[in-house]
Amino acid sequence: MHFLLSLLCVFAVAAGVLFPAAGHAAGYQVGFRTIGQWQVENALRLDVNIWYPSIRPPRELDYPPWTIEAARGGKPVEGRFPVLILSHASPGARFSYHQTAAWLAMHGFVVAAPTHAADSMYNMDAMYTWRQFQTRATDISTTLNILQKSPDLAPMADMNRVGVIGYGAGGLAALLTGGALPDCGARDNYCASVERQDMYCNPWAAEKLDALCARLPLRKSLADVRVKAVAAVSPAFSLLLSQKSLRYYHPPTLLIAGGAEVEDRPDTIRMLASWFPRPVEVLQIDDADTGAFMSPCPPVLLEDLPELCGSVSPDDRARILENLHTALLAFFLRHLGDEATVPAIPLPPDAEVLKQQ
């Protein structure tokens, strides 16, 4: 029952009925900068884009093949703003959602988008391995550390008000930072109910997931208690979870499903929502798929990745992104907009407690 009530609630939010603040006009210019840091432990470079409220007008910036609108190095607006970490889907990277990041910055958020070096459009070596998710969760926490230590950004980035937006595999990574403990609990039932060619159940995937699941259940939480709210957009790999996986999960959560994907797997998002220990909000956006939630691809990517970049028409993409932005803004304003109402997140259980369970 709480699933249906949450579903109705979010549809009302998306329509601007319950929370008028979701539709308020943008109040800030958009500043932009990039930060890079080598991660010695895995010999990978973490490159991060930062969008933030600025007093400088934007201009066209070229980061081939991407072109964006922002004020490079623009002076930040005085004050402290909630922080959102954006974890891209596997076929994406740090620029793939630049319109969403800029839109949220215009509405008073500091938005940081890392490229997950081993799981992006440039390199998918970690796909279908535990490294794919462990590294993503670590990248999210490392990005928060970078913001916290930045002389320029730390004064405006309010680390008491942190949220994560995860797309695709980033959805699972976001849930990991919220306290999820994968155990492959839903895998057998899922694969028994779909065609053998399913992306999670074909022979190649089955072999990969066999090795991944052999390392589970997770006995050391990857939760980051700085994360106070999570939005998972078109979340992937939910078959690695179960109701037991979420017993130590605490942040308020918004699950957003694309209608095109729900047609293929109608019960997946409903089942995932039912596993949480507290009600979560769920929104379905008609006709959307993983690619539709991305910003429009530059021409060279549209040519190279037509299935991803051209999965919806420009008009449909604009509608889908408008609905997505409205829902994200309403959700994060509700949970991070007022310092007095930010949820308290308890520390995760230690490894010894988990070993005994």
d(CA 75, CA 133): 35
pLDDT at 355 over 80: no
- Whether domain 2-343 has CATH 1.10.3300.10: the reply is no
Predicted confidence band of residue 27 (pLDDT cuts 50, 70, 90): confident
Residue 22: which pLDDT band, with cuts at 50, 70 and 90? very low
pLDDT of residue 41: 66
| pLDDT at res. 187 | 93
pTM value is: 0.91
pLDDT digits (tens, 9 = 90+) for 133-187: 999 999 999 999 999 999 999 999 999 999 999 999 999 999 999 999 999 999 9
Residue 357 pLDDT exceeds 90: no
Residue 111 pLDDT grade (very low, low, confident, very high; cuts 50, 70, 90): very high
Q: Minimum mean pLDDT among 20-34, 208-222, 286-300: which range?
A: 20-34
CB burial of residue 314 (10 Å; 0-12, 13-18, 19+): exposed
Is the pLDDT reported for residue 225 higher than 90? yes
Contact at 8 Å (CB) between 228 and 164? no
- Asked if pLDDT for residue 11 goes beyond 60, the answer is no
Q: Work out the mean pLDDT of the chain and round it to a whole number.
A: 89
Among 6-10, 190-194, 328-332, the range of highest mean pLDDT: 328-332
In this predicted model, what pLDDT tens digit does every residue of 293-312 receive, in sequence order? 999 999 999 999 898 999 99
More confidently predicted of 102 and 198: 102
Residue 10 has pLDDT above 60, yes or no: no
Both structure tokens of 2 = 């709480």
Residue 21 reports pLDDT greater than 50: no
Confidence band, pLDDT 50/70/90 cuts, at residue 17:
very low
Please report, for residues 50, 144, 223, 297, the alpha-carbon distance to residue 137 in angstroms, rounded to integers and kept in the order given: 18, 11, 8, 26
Is pLDDT of 9 > 60?
no
List the chain domain ranges: 2-343
Which residue, 347, 324, 341, is CA-closest to 13?
A: 324
Query: Rounded to whole angstroms, how far apart are CA atoms 268 and 278?
Result: 18
